[in-house]
Structure 1
Amino acid sequence: MIEIVSERIGNKIYEWNDKKHVSPAVMKFALISLFTNSLSIVLALLIGIMIGRTGEVALSLLAIATMRFLTGGYHFKKSLNCVIVSVGVSTIIPFIHINEITKVVLSIIAVILVVIYAPSRLRGVSRVSEQGLQIRKWIAVTLVIVNLFLSYEILTLAFFAQSLSLITKKSG
Structure 2
Amino acid sequence: MIEALSNKIAVHIKKNVPDHPASVAVLKHALAVILNMVFITGLTIAISVFTGRIREVLTIMAAFAFLRQMTGGLHLKSGMGCVAVSTLLFTGLSFVHLDYRWSMIATVISMILILIFAPAGIEKQTRIPPRYFPLLKAGAFIVVSFNLWVANPFIAVSFFAQSLLLISIRR
Q: Give the TM-score of the pair, scaled to structure 2.
A: 0.92
1:14 corresponds to: 14
1:113-132 equivalence runs, <5 A: 113-132=113-132
Question: Structure 1, residues 23-45: CA drift from partner, whole Å, max 9, x if none?
Answer: 11111111110001011001111
Q: Deviations over 1:96-147 (max 9, x none)?
A: 1123332232222211211121111111331112244332221111121110
Q: Aligned equivalents of 2:33 and 2:102: distance in 1?
A: 34
Which structure 2 residues correspond to residues 46-61 of structure 1 after superposition, within 5 A?
A: 46-61=46-61
Which shows bigger deviation, 14-23 or 77-86?
14-23
Query: Which residue matches 1:36?
Result: 36
Shift of 1:89: 1.4
Mark the runs of 5 or more structure 1 residues left unpaired by the alignment: none
How many residues in Structure 1 have an aligned counterpart in Structure 2? 170
Percent sequence identity is: 31
For residue 163 of structure 1, what is the aligned residue in structure 2?
Answer: 163
Partner in structure 2 of residue 85 of structure 1? 85
Secondary structure of 1:35's aligned partner: helix
Structure 1 ranges of 4+ moved more than 4 A: none
- Compute the RMSD of aligned alpha carbons: 1.4
Q: TM-score, normalised by structure 1?
A: 0.92
Question: Equivalent residue of 1:155, what SS?
Answer: helix
